[in-house]
Structure 1
Amino acid sequence: MRGAATAVLWRGGAEFQSVQVPLPQPGPGETLVRLTAATVCGSDRHTVSGRRSSACPSVLGHEGVGVVLSTRGGHTVQGSPLHEGDRVVFGVTSSCGRCAPCLRGLTAKCTSVQKAGHEPFEGEWPLSGTYASHILLRSGQAVAKAPAVLQDGVAATAGCAVATVMAVLERAGELRGRRVLVNGVGMLGLVAVAAALDRGASEVVAVDPNADRRRLAEGLGAEARPPGSGSEPGNRGTVDVSLELSGARAGIQTCIEALGIGGTAVLAGSVAPVDAVEVDPEWMVRGWRTITGVHNYEPRHLQEAVDFLGAAGRTLPWEHLLDGPIAADQLAAEFRRTDVQRLRTVVTF
């Protein structure tokens, strides 16, 4: 069909259907992108498995890279105008820029936020996800140019995993000369290990139950330990910064209790309900300790993610992190897999 996009529509469970969608004309500030690759993020697997809710039917997927087909005044987070042929990555959230959270610099918490890969297919933004040949980027959505040095699968991770880590590290504060604990070394955790060391952390301790992921963290220069090993920094007062990226209750407790005087714990993995953890208020007060959270990220973090991937991020063992590529019509089979080993599967159109 001429003038049409091919979208892989999620119908619930692991059921997908390929459909044709007329190509939209971009509105003011919008940009139409022909996708060259997307990745299967862990949160997409959680949606399909029923662990988290999402609009259905919808076009899932939120990490992607592609080429601008047309735009009506679209621009990058640095303010440069977009042009046909630009290779770009893009943010997860589209915000209004006018509400109270937006004006406070928390655009990810916009009162009318829309999210790539999360919107109903029958709504006003049907081509919102990356499991399609094209995506329409909204006027309030961050866009950054992707340099040719980044292969498609690597570039796509900027739009979720890597940008989120950039926001987490910003929240953590200065890392130079500090001891850092990273709990959970999936995609976000491995990026955090590499970025923390690049920012001058004196030591990074990576905790994960998966031995293969611990070995990857060690290859980046971290000291890797299994949880509950007895030698992990779970006792109070041993680290300056702890980054919790697993969402597991035990990991959250460890990251809080590990804080030394003036330490900061940044929680980013808790995007699903989990049992409460215990916090000793007096211990927090007397130790000038901080617990904070990060969910999604701000536009500047997308550009920081691209910059990181083009520099220190090139040390990441991408050959062990990315699977595929697979064709879009293989998505249903991909979500039924029980033997997933690598952290992202690349999907191409």
Structure 2
Amino acid sequence: MDPRPADLTTVALWEGDGALRLVEVPLPTLVQGEVLVRVRLATVCGSDRHTVSGRRSSPCPSVLGHEAVGEVVGLGPHGAPGDDGRPLEIGDRVVFGVTVACGSCDRCLAGRSAKCRSVRKVGHEAFGSAWPLSGTYARHLVLPSGATVARVPAGLPDLLAAPAGCATATVMATIEAAGPLEGRRVLVSGAGMLGITAVAAARDAGADHVVVTDPDAERRALALRFGATSARDTDEPVGLVDVAIELSGASPAVARCLELLDLGGRLVLAGSVAPGPDVPVDAERVVRGWLTITGVHNYEPRHLRAALDLLERTRDHVPWDELVTPPVGLGDIGRLLAGHAATRPRAAVVP
């Protein structure tokens, strides 16, 4: 039994310079539309490692973390809906979207709620703001009104469900942006968490041939277990493809993806989330080749549901558990964020 008072919770407070400190803080009184979630299991996204190492700016101090599966333990007055429109209930096992949008600005109304003009993000809000318990490296977090909250299918283990709120949903947005993949030749550039997930998703979408490029031999071997038809080092020949999904963020990889597109090909960029060297574009080849270049950053609410559907549909024949390490306690989160013992694409913590 948890010996702490019922009105307190524990958070890993990031205070800059790589330092995280476990502190007890009061649980808030919920207002209308808010959902209190007890974190069952959280996974460590690479973006949080970039924040702690200084490569990525983020409010400080704050509670980091945005990939998790949890249990609804509190609801504000009049409750809150799940993504399917049905009211959430105490005890529901849920995952949640990274972004919380206003729903009424021009971007939201145009279907780009992930880029809402007043967007707020799970695990990206200052501890001194109106949303202090925004991150998943904690025993509890609060989801504000407007958050996307999705019930997890009963048979889907926590280890599989937790990454759905970031990695898996982002991949589903890239798959949608890639267009119909039935019978297509697909290149996945980068075999990290997103790349491996994209392999399984592309195969599930009917891609006839999925080739993966990555400099790491172990990652390439993992890609083959997730359905890649071939896996190559970044300097090995690949052949022309119909669709390239670039997830490494490396400028040379972006350029190579462009070179490998066949007539009518499409390049989906999702890994280039930090400044890097310019990538030359042969405009004439784009024009004469009817090529399309598009970007994906974050995702829309429908992609979270698509992520859960993918995991549920494929869990018996795709080795999703190979992507996540056995979980450790919240006290080890600093070590995980520093990259220690990162033997799989995702480390996990049970607060």
Separation in structure 1 between the aligned mates of residue 227 and residue 121 of structure 2, nearest angstrom: 35
State which of 84, 89, 99 in structure 2 corresponds to 1:78: 84
Which one of 10, 13, 20 corresponds to residue 9 of structure 1?
13
Match of 2:259 in 1: 257
Of residues 58-67 and 144-153 in structure 1, the stretch that sits farther from structure 2 once superposed is 144-153
CA distance in structure 2 between the partners assigned to 1:270 and 1:172 by the alignment: 16
Give the alignment of 1:171-182 within 5 angstroms: 171-182=177-188
1:55-109 Cα distance to aligned partner (Å, 9 max, x none): 1110000001111112233112221110111110000001000101000010000
Give the counterpart letter for 2:51 in structure 1. Answer: T
Computed over aligned residues only, the root mean square deviation of the Cα atoms, in angstroms, reads 1.2
Q: CA deviation at 1:336?
A: 3.2
Per-residue Cα deviation, 1:288-335 (whole angstroms, up to 9, x for no partner): 110000000000000111111111254333343211311001112223
- The list of structure 1 runs, each at least 4 consecutive aligned residues, that deviate by more than 4 angstroms after superposition, is none
In structure 1, list runs of 5 or more residues that go unmatched.
Answer: none
Residue of structure 2 in register with 1:346 after alignment: 348
With over 3 angstroms needed to count, the CA separation of the structure-2 counterparts of 1:121 and 1:211, relative to structure 1, is: same
Partner of 2:158: 152
Output one character per residue of 1:11-40: Cα deviation in whole Å (capped at 9) or x when no partner.
113211111121122222221111111011
Aligned 8 A contact 2:178 2:268 in 1: yes
1:22-37 pair list within 5 angstroms: 22-37=26-41
Which segments of 5 or more consecutive residues in structure 2 lack a partner in the other structure?
A: none
2:116 paired residue among 80, 102, 110: 110
Contact 2:49/2:338, CA 8 A, preserved across alignment: no
**Aligned match for 1:283, one of 279, 282, 285:** 285
SS at match of 1:262: strand
Q: Is 1:215 the equivalent of 2:221?
A: yes
CA distance in 2 between counterparts of 1:279 and 1:108 reads 27
Partner of 1:21: helix, strand, or coil? strand
C-alpha distance in 1, partners of 2:131/2:56?
A: 21
SS in 1 for 2:187: strand
- Check whether the contact 1:216–1:317 (CA below 8 A) recurs between aligned residues: no
Query: What's the TM-score, normalizing by structure 2?
Result: 0.95
Answer whether contact 1:226 1:232 (CA < 8 A) is retained.
Answer: no
TM-score by length of 1: 0.96
C-alpha distance in 1, partners of 2:253/2:314?
A: 27
Tell whether 2:197 aligns with 1:195: no
The equivalent residue for 2:24 is 20
- Percent identity over paired residues: 55
Q: CA deviation at 1:244?
A: 0.3
> Hey, what's the Cα distance between the residues in 2 that align with 1:27 and 1:257?
53
1:100 paired to 2:106: yes
For residue 338 of structure 1, report the CA deviation from its aligned partner: 4.3
SS at match of 2:249: coil
Residue 63 of structure 2 corresponds to residue 56 of structure 1? no
Question: Which residue of structure 1 aligns with residue 324 of structure 2?
Answer: 322
Counterpart of 2:143 in structure 1 is: 137
Deviations 1:193-226 (A, max 9, x none): 0111111111000001111110011122311001
